[in-house]
Structure 1
Amino acid sequence: MTAQTPQKQSRPRSRPASRSSQSRNTRGRREAGGGRNGRGGSISASTRRPIRKSSGPQKPRPRPRTTTIAKSQLRIIPLGGLEEVGKNMTAFEFGNDIIIVDLGLMFPSEDMPGIDYVVPDYHYLQKNKHRVKALIITHGHLDHIGAIPYLINRVGNPPIYATPLTAGIIRQKLEEFKLQKSVMLNEFKPDDTFSFGAFNLSFFRVNHNIPDGVGIALKTPIGTVVHTGDFKIDFTPRDEQPAELHKIAKLGGEGVLLLMSDSTNAEQPGSTTSEREIGINLEKLIAKADGRVIVSTFATLVSRIQQVFDAAEKTGRKVAVSGYSMDKALEIAYNLGAIKFDKNIYIRLKDIGKLKDEEVIIISTGSQGQENAALGRMAKGDHRQVRLKKGDTIILSSSPIPGNERAIQNLMNALFSLGTKVIYNKMFDIHASGHGYQNDLRLMLALAKPKFFMPIHGERHMLEAHARLAEDMGIARDNIFILSNGNILELAKKGGGPVVAGAISKTKLPNSPVMVDGLGIGDIGEVVLRDRQVMAQDGMFVTIITIDSNTQKVIGDPEIISRGFMYMKGNDQLIKDTVTKIKDICNKHTANKLENWSPLRAALRDDIGSYLFQKTERRPMVLPVIIEI
């Protein structure tokens, strides 16, 4: 697989996916500076390459204003990523044109049993899918691309635009879902520009902990909006070019109407650690290790994977990979040139037994404590090819995703109990955040010099911290907007004049978590989730009652089934008393013949539920089953 940018005026080798895709893709126009040959002009449908197989005291915040402004306006609608970490998605709307930036997912919290992923509320875009011109992706982390296979067809199947590495990761996801023939994926470089209706897009390279990340400048009829994507300022990145700060400064000189900036580390003072420093520390740790070294990190943390290969070459070790997603990420990054190493260093996992322990490094998934990931299976002794032992060194080279702290602690405890040496970030600098600290955020604000500011990508306390930082940098309080998912920021010229005003609309779109469970998308609502929570916490209590259809009298004793509530053995008296209670409720409600069993079922649920709580202080789900004979 090789990286390939779409050509401007030449036909690609592959054909467009469909006629509808052809019509839609003629909306985008590549301007001068794009492609390999640098020529300007429009791109027809034939040049859109479809998929081919081959992330001090606090000042009081003012209340958001909710005045109504003019109709000719830019509307910015965050549908995910605000007041949370994950499932980033923002819609930009001007007139009849809509551009989407990012389409990510979020991992479920502990109170979402059985849920695989959570994706943004897409229903507004589904209703307006005929207006969606394009989906622009800032980088290849799952919180920015993970929902594409689930939602792309639900928002109109717009053409996707991404840098080469990001496109490669998206391509692999689409192939897993067998969508590669129906989705149009276009690659671009940071110097390319596009036009989609009212929007003119340009890009600037940013540093993150995955290569090929970009920020976006969206030029509109009323001004320029700068969306940073996830970023940090790294002046010495590993095998990657520094951020294009000159482009941001140029945009600031021309005038930035609104800056939307990453807030994940807005509470962290100072500057982020350079990736180059992390590489040096990893090399030292690996050189000191006596036995095998297992480095666990995110599969998409390409820079870290590269650093492990660099350390292996310098310390005379071979590298094997464990974990499906890690294996695929390595394949994609290597084929695109994002990771470079001597092929003699790489070995298959099944061959590690042929080497001495001090010659082996294993890169694995599972740094977030996932039980079924490679490291989790090693910790449980369930891994088919790797058995951990005393003398192994485990390096956890990632930071905990909020909500995963307990799982990571459990994993570490299991690893320690096996006699392994576990090294994590609190002990040694072996992970650098991909999100800018306060000095990085100040520099972005100073270069962009925006009139308005909107913190994005973070929980509420992170957004508030970033807002205070912007105010300290001189942005007026009234020009800082903290939104929730579903809020609409409206920007328009006052009375048709040159001055642009901004306000949060009085209208807020419905925005609820859309849960993915197996093949189901959004079919698990609050009621089902609440039932799962009840069953997960207190179990289920089923009573099966046989009733004579003529007399409506209970026949025999009701049958009791308990799952996750109590053991039937040892609770004979409680079961006997509950059976008596059930029969009393039935006799009371059938004294006068019932037309249907709904009132009886409701009474059994409520009364038996209360009775069981009185006896056990637990509230199982009570499920009455009535059989007529």
Structure 2
Amino acid sequence: MLEKTDKQNIGPQKSHQPTQDPKESQEPKLRIIPLGGVEEIGKNMTIFEYGNDIIIVDMGFQFPDEEMLGIDYVIPDTTYLEAHKEKIRGVIITHGHMDHTGGIPYIIPKKFSVPIYTGNLTAHMIKKRQEEFGNAAEIKINTVNPDKDIIQLGVFRIEFFRVNHNIPDGMGLAIHTPVGVIIHTGDFKFDHTPVDEKPTDFSKLAKYGGEGVLVLMSDSTSVDKPGHSISEKEIGNNLNNIFAGVKGRLIIASFSSLISRIQQIINAAEKFGRKVAVVGRSMNDNVQIARELEYLKINKGVLVDISETKSLSDNRVVILTTGSQGEELSGLMRMASGEHKDVKIRKGDTVILSSSPIPGNERSIVSMMDNLFREGARVIYNKLMDVHTGGHARQEDLKLMIDLVKPKYIIPIHGERHKLVMHSDVAASVGIPQDNIFVVDNGQIIEFDSKQHGRVKREKLQVGYVMVDGLGVGDVGNIVLRDRQVMSKDGIFVVILTIDRKTGRLLNSPDIISRGFVYMRESEALINGARDRVRKSLEKKDGTYPSNWAYIKNKIREDMGEFLYHHTQRRPMVLPVVIEV
């Protein structure tokens, strides 16, 4: 059973919402429902529903914030889909990044078993990740060619168009529905000089615009950046400049899915006579997949095993690994902390962080960088030189997308609330009426009728966080998180009582265990005072003792919490344990 935590809802801004008609018609309507990816970065997932048919676009996960102690990932809440799984015709994945694919092993086929449609590279990356889940049932994946394939899922006819991102095989969607065409951009940017793929398909976008587009759902991730996106080729030039000036080892950390960036690194290494050692399971897996599918072009002899680098001079070595976000178990983090079995950071090394910090990861990244500097390495990151270009459209790119497809309505997606609002302002600046721009929260329902009238319904799906903790999916909720937060801040205080079953009398002095609260050897007065307070709490005014164990536990918890706060101004978790003899 899923246990969910309700998010704090930020009410939709009136200036960005349509007037809602209370009268309901019985005719089928197109319903668009984001389950993730709005009011946040990550766990992208959107439902399109008409009559008895549902299709799903993307199924990602999100990394937890700092308050979600012990949580591995957060995935979308699929309660509504589980209740209507007979309607689901398929899942379409726009590209291979985890914020669009990471939820698949936890949802398909555990919640519902439906086919997936996606590009060639993405399909192989999904299959490879499924292998990590041991006994997971096989999922059905259909590979589509965005240049020519069209699929029919129930009433929905879906065309695909190529988009540039920072991973090959990125696709946008033209979803033909009974009430009009929906353009879903996926993650995109316009790059006229991409490294390893074709440019975004302008001709298809213009064709859709000429035929008429009802809704544009467009990427908001980089809406706060003016101008146009930087081409990946520019990053290649900067990498060449770094390679030309560095004499020691080069250690480069990036996302393992940034295939375009990996190609640039390999090209630079070959140009300057260096060998490349790939370190880390996910990086090795993705390099192998991309090479087999010919998305990566690597000449013979460029790649070497990490063990072979020991016989090479430092100026002939590049180590490619993960960890640009300071992830705890990543290759670079283990190198920085001296725990990597094959690579030890030393003076003369140059480390490149080829990515931008994801919000929430800044502290881990700075700590890792400090450790690298402490070991004598030089660190190059985005503030010092452009060694990363985002894969997302900036303001002028977003305007160009609107000009190309000429939508009647716009729904900004893929961004926190402030970015969605900024995107609505960009859309308004190129002539989209404010009433036709829907800034929504996860779970809100945008509805379109046969006359192409759109509105946001008052009804809203209750969607919350579904958290993945080890093997558990959805079994950690608000209460468990709150307990973890209490223990992380003020520790735990365990009171063990041995009580006579017949009389309820305390048989010996309470045992006390303190973890993360006070050091017991240095706090004898406090511990002895706590024992006295326990005895007084148990004894009634008439000298008898209570025999209701639930009452005893609650009484001890309340009295001990009050006592400890009075003496320490801290509130540890008080855990009474009653043993009957």
Which TM-score applies when normalising by structure 1?
Answer: 0.88
Question: What amino acid is aligned across from residue 503 of structure 1 in structure 2?
Answer: R
- % identical equivalent positions: 50
CA distance in 2, matches of 1:179, 1:138: 26
CA distance in 1, matches of 2:119, 2:410: 26
Aligned to 1:73: 29
Q: Is the 1:589–1:600 Cα contact (8 Å) retained in structure 2? A: no
Greater RCO structure (CA 8 Å; 6+ sep): 2
Q: Is the 2:32–2:447 Cα contact (8 Å) retained in structure 1? A: yes
> Relative to 1, partners in 2 of residues 1:570 and 1:181: Cα closer, same or farther, differing over 3 Å?
closer
Aligned to 1:515: 467
Residue 513 of structure 2 aligns to a residue in which SS?
A: strand
Residue 157 of structure 1 aligns to a residue in which SS?
A: coil
Question: What amino acid is aligned across from residue 555 of structure 2 in structure 1?
Answer: A
Measured on the aligned residues, the alpha-carbon RMSD in Å equals 1.5
CA distance in 2, matches of 1:540, 1:601: 15
Residue 276 of structure 2 aligns to a residue in which SS?
A: strand
CA distance in 2, matches of 1:451, 1:590: 79
Q: Is the 2:167–2:259 Cα contact (8 Å) retained in structure 1? A: yes
CA distance in 1, matches of 2:309, 2:138: 41
Pick aligned residue for 1:258 from 203, 215, 218: 215
> Relative to 1, partners in 2 of residues 1:590 and 1:235: Cα closer, same or farther, differing over 3 Å?
farther
- Does residue 109 of the first structure (1) align with residue 65 of the second (2)? yes
> Relative to 1, partners in 2 of residues 1:235 and 1:179: Cα closer, same or farther, differing over 3 Å?
farther
Pick aligned residue for 2:265 from 308, 320, 328: 308
Pick aligned residue for 1:619 from 560, 567, 571: 571
Aligned to 1:577: 529
Give the 5 Å matches for 1:18-417. Answer: 61-63=15-17, 65-68=19-22, 69-70=24-25, 71-178=27-134, 182-190=138-146, 191-417=148-374
CA distance in 2, matches of 1:593, 1:179: 53
Question: What amino acid is aligned across from residue 259 of structure 1 in structure 2?
Answer: L
Q: Is the 2:505–2:545 Cα contact (8 Å) retained in structure 1? A: no
Question: What amino acid is aligned across from residue 15 of structure 2 in structure 1?
Answer: R
Give the 5 Å matches for 1:389-538. Answer: 389-493=346-450, 499-538=451-490
> Relative to 1, partners in 2 of residues 1:63 and 1:99: Cα closer, same or farther, differing over 3 Å?
closer
CA distance in 1, matches of 2:138, 2:262: 32
- Does residue 540 of the first structure (1) align with residue 497 of the second (2)? no
Deviation readout 1:11-61 (Å, 9 max, x if unpaired):
xxxxxxxxxxxxxxxxxxxxxxxxxxxxxxxxxxxxxxxxxxxxxxxx983
Residue 574 of structure 2 aligns to a residue in which SS?
A: strand
Quote how far apart the aligned CAs of 1:507 are.
1.2
Q: Is the 2:109–2:137 Cα contact (8 Å) retained in structure 1? A: no
Question: What amino acid is aligned across from residue 217 of structure 2 in structure 1?
Answer: M
Quote how far apart the aligned CAs of 1:628 are.
1.6
Quote how far apart the aligned CAs of 1:309 are.
0.4
Aligned to 2:6: none
Deviation readout 1:177-199 (Å, 9 max, x if unpaired):
24676211110111210111110
Q: Is the 1:67–1:504 Cα contact (8 Å) retained in structure 2? A: no
Q: Is the 1:193–1:202 Cα contact (8 Å) retained in structure 2? A: yes
CA distance in 2, matches of 1:533, 1:355: 49
> Relative to 1, partners in 2 of residues 1:355 and 1:476: Cα closer, same or farther, differing over 3 Å?
same
CA distance in 1, matches of 2:14, 2:105: 42
- Does residue 568 of the first structure (1) align with residue 535 of the second (2)? no
Residue 569 of structure 1 aligns to a residue in which SS?
A: helix
Moved more, 179-188 or 263-272: 179-188
Structure 1: where are the runs of 5+ without partners? 1-58, 494-498
Quote how far apart the aligned CAs of 1:534 are.
0.9
CA distance in 2, matches of 1:67, 1:598: 52
> Relative to 1, partners in 2 of residues 1:584 and 1:423: Cα closer, same or farther, differing over 3 Å?
same
CA distance in 2, matches of 1:506, 1:473: 29
CA distance in 2, matches of 1:396, 1:430: 7
CA distance in 2, matches of 1:220, 1:90: 15
CA distance in 1, matches of 2:548, 2:534: 18
Deviation readout 1:555-577 (Å, 9 max, x if unpaired):
22111001111110110101111
Quote how far apart the aligned CAs of 1:593 are.
5.5
Q: Is the 2:17–2:437 Cα contact (8 Å) retained in structure 1? A: no
Structure 2: where are the runs of 5+ without partners? 1-12
Residue 513 of structure 1 aligns to a residue in which SS?
A: strand
Deviation readout 1:533-569 (Å, 9 max, x if unpaired):
1111111100001112222121221110011111101
Aligned to 2:538: 586
Q: Is the 1:67–1:506 Cα contact (8 Å) retained in structure 2? A: no
Aligned to 1:609: 561
